[in-house]
Amino acid sequence: RRGAGDAVDTSVDGTKSAVAHPAMRAGWPSGFEDLLRVRSGFVASYDARTRNPRWVLERITAESCDGVGTRKKSRFAEDDEVDGAHAAKLSDYRGSGYDRGHLAAAAGHKNTQRAMDDTFSLINVSPQVGDGFNRDYWARLEHFTRILATKTKAGGDVLVATGPLFLPTKVSASERRAREFRESMYVRGDGGDKKGGKTRDVSTALVDVSSSAKARPPADWEMRYPLIGDAPELVHVPTHFFKVVLVLPAGDRDGERLDANDKNKDARAVAAAAFVLPNAPIPPETPLETFIVPLAKLEAASGLTFFRQGALGGEAREAFEASERLYFESRSGGEASETAARVTSRSRSKSRAEHVCQAAACVLPAGFAAKQTRGG
């Protein structure tokens, strides 16, 4: 605990006092998480460890979905603001079997060719399964967000936060025993070579080997996912992807920071919803509502918060979570469903934030599929 004589951090975010700390006098570990990329239609944060975007936040409007931009003139490009050792590379994707999947969809940024080109930067790309996902179900979800901005009465501009997730897998006791048996079949040398080799270089030092894995106590959960590229500069393949959709009030003034707690502004409701989809083929008939999750649960899994600084802060967050609970209750059926529907109907006109699926039908456009080539 801090003693009476300890210095108190009076800076806004602690940065000033941290830099003055004697442990920091020779420098400190740094990454790229706080370096934001600002592009024509989106802002992105980069995760140098996984070589994926941490998140991409885009603004979709009727105007951004229509224009001269065409993907025929666009080419995927590496991000030149990240040094080579930490950047995803085009070569990582070649022959990997994974698509270079957009997080901010190209079709939502057609207003200029530059806006279209920006979406092809690897700062906006993660490895995605192609057939059944990137070129199919995921593309239909992207189309759904554009419909919210262009063809519904749900509201005005649409803000969409998209990012990768790396979710754990439950390990069964039988699976753990089988793995231990397989590992016992190998005799490893100092270098982790199955043939008993002694050579140890930088690459093997940075790759986990079974001898070290066996020394760790077993746990009920594990993180499992493929990686592409060359170790140690590997691109992690997400297990899942999230989209958080925020529909702004119709007529919201462009460029004005939206704060739902500002009593001087009108209380027109914003609408929001959180979706989490597996990075895997999804049967086309699967209802979109299958992938709707409570926003707070997504925040816990991702380590992020969404729109709390503005449109979903304070009272608006409370209103949204109440609307969200009613939405999930209405899906459960029975008396709770009927009660939730009545309460929702009475409260919608007073609410400052509601669930998207209460403001518009959460149904994917039928028969829509993106026509893309592998890696597109």
| Inter-residue contact 249 to 155 (CB < 8 Å) | yes
Closest CA to 217 of 176, 165, 160: 176
> Catalytic amino acids?
102
C-alpha angle 343-346-348 in degrees, rounded to nearest 5: 100
**Contact of 254 with 245, CB cutoff 8 Å:** no
Residues in CB range of 8: below 8 A, 6 or more apart: 2
Residues in the chain: 376
User: How many Å apart are CA 308 and CA 297, to the nearest integer?
Assistant: 15
Closest CA to 249 of 362, 319, 159: 159
> Rounded CA gap, 177 and 246, in Å?
46
How far is the C-alpha of 123 from the C-alpha of 36, rounded, in Å? 10
In the DSSP assignment, the letter for residue 239 is S
Residue 76 tokens, joined: 């995927």
Rounded Cα–Cα distance for residues 53 and 31 (Å): 13
Residue 351 amino acid letter: S
> What residue type is assigned to position 109 of the chain?
H
* Integer CA distances (angstroms), 232 to 49, 90, 169, 188, 227, in order: 10, 16, 23, 21, 10
Contact 258, 248 (CB under 8 A): yes
In angstroms, the Cα distances linking 276 to 240, 241, 245 are 7, 6, 12
The answer to whether the CB of 121 falls within 8 A of the CB of 39 is: yes
Residue 322 burial class via C-beta count within 10 angstroms: exposed 0-12, middle 13-18, buried 19 and up: middle
Cβ within 8 Å of residue 110, ≥6 positions away: 64, 65, 66, 67, 68, 69, 70, 116
